[in-house]
Amino acid sequence: MCIFVLQAVDRNKSLCPSWILCNYIAEVAIQEDNSKLAFYAFEFMFKWITRGEMARPSVIFSVDEGLVVAGLASAARTCSSSLVEGSWTILKQSLRGRKAANPASYIAKINAYASLGNLQKAFTSLHELESAYADSEKEVVEEMLSPFTSLYPLVVACSKKGFETLDEVYLDSS
The answer to whether residue 4 scores a pLDDT higher than 60 is no
Residue 80 has pLDDT above 60, yes or no: yes
Neighbours of 148 (CB within 10 A): 7
**DSSP E strand boundaries for the chain:** none
pLDDT tens track for 123-135: 899 889 988 888 8
Contact 90, 128 (CB under 8 A): no
- pLDDT tens profile 37-70: 999 999 999 999 998 999 889 889 999 999 999 9
Centre a 10 Å sphere on the Cβ of residue 157 and count the other Cβ atoms it contains: 22
**Is residue 158's pLDDT more than 80?**
no
pLDDT, position 75 = 96
Reported confidence tier of residue 6, pLDDT bands at 50, 70, 90: very low
Contacts of 162 (CB under 8 A, 6+ apart): none
- pLDDT higher than 50, residue 119: yes
User: Above pLDDT 70, what percent of the chain?
Assistant: 84
> Rg for the chain (alpha carbons), in Å?
17
pLDDT at 167: 63
Task: Give the phi and the psi of residue 78 in degrees, each rounded to 5.
Answer: -100, 0
**Burial code of 15-53, b = ≥16 C-beta within 10 A, e = fewer?**
eebebeebbebbbbbbeebbbbbbbbbbbbbbebbeeee
Mean pLDDT rounded to a whole number for the chain: 84
List all residues 6 or more positions away from 1 whose beta carbon is below 8 Å from its beta carbon.
28
What are the boundaries of each domain within the chain? 1-99, 100-174
